[in-house]
Amino acid sequence: MKVTPPSTEEILEKCEIPNELKDHTEFLEVWPIWVAYKQEEAENNGRMKPWNSLNAVSRMLSEIRNRYMDGRDIFNVINQSMLNQWIGIRFDLVPDRNKNITLKNKSRDQRSQLDIEYFNINNNQKTLN
């Protein structure tokens, strides 16, 4: 039996934003955009995977909260993940704005030096314009 993923509206209505993120205006702006991207693009693109349950969304919100509490620039990471048309939010590949952090926790997609240089070139061009 095929599971029907929750709709964007259902996710935004039923999944509670963690208290630590409720006053984060950039996150509150990008979260609905990410949810729509994640759920709706998946329907039209066989490469992407939607969240199949509200519990999966809640786990992602917990991960985002934890990364925020660690000092990560969650808005930039979510936004860059969409701009790069990635399947998920890639904390392991996207550095924070205005910080030189060391990316760690490589994933299955193992970042390469070429990926990092490409990101840096694009990021620098956007800040110079």
Q: Does the residue 101 lie in any domain?
A: yes
CA 95/CA 76 separation, integer angstroms: 8
Q: How many domains does the chain have?
A: 1
Q: Does the residue 122 lie in any domain?
A: yes
Q: Does the residue 1 lie in any domain?
A: no
The CB-side HSE value for 105 (13 A sphere, CA atoms) comes to 8
DSSP 6-58: PPHHHHHHHSPPPGGGTT-HHHHHHHHHHHHHHHHHHHH-TT-----SHHHHH
Q: Which domain holds residue 104?
A: 8-128
In this prediction, residue 40 carries a pLDDT of 80
**Whether the model pTM is above 0.85:** no
What angle is formed at CA 89 by the lines to CA 101 and CA 108, rounded to 5 degrees?
A: 85
Tokens describing residue 107 = 């994933």
User: Are the CB atoms for 78 and 34 separated by under 8 Å?
Assistant: yes
Q: Does the residue 2 lie in any domain?
A: no
CA 102/CA 23 separation, integer angstroms: 27
Q: Does the residue 3 lie in any domain?
A: no
User: Are the CB atoms for 8 and 36 separated by under 8 Å?
Assistant: yes
Q: Does the residue 65 lie in any domain?
A: yes
Given a cut of 90, whether residue 35 has pLDDT beyond it is: yes
Most confident of 32-36, 39-43, 113-117: 32-36
In this prediction, residue 127 carries a pLDDT of 43
Please give the average per-residue pLDDT across 63-74, as a whole number: 95
In this prediction, residue 126 carries a pLDDT of 47
User: For 87-115, what is each residue's pLDDT tens digit?
Assistant: 789 998 898 887 655 555 555 455 555 66
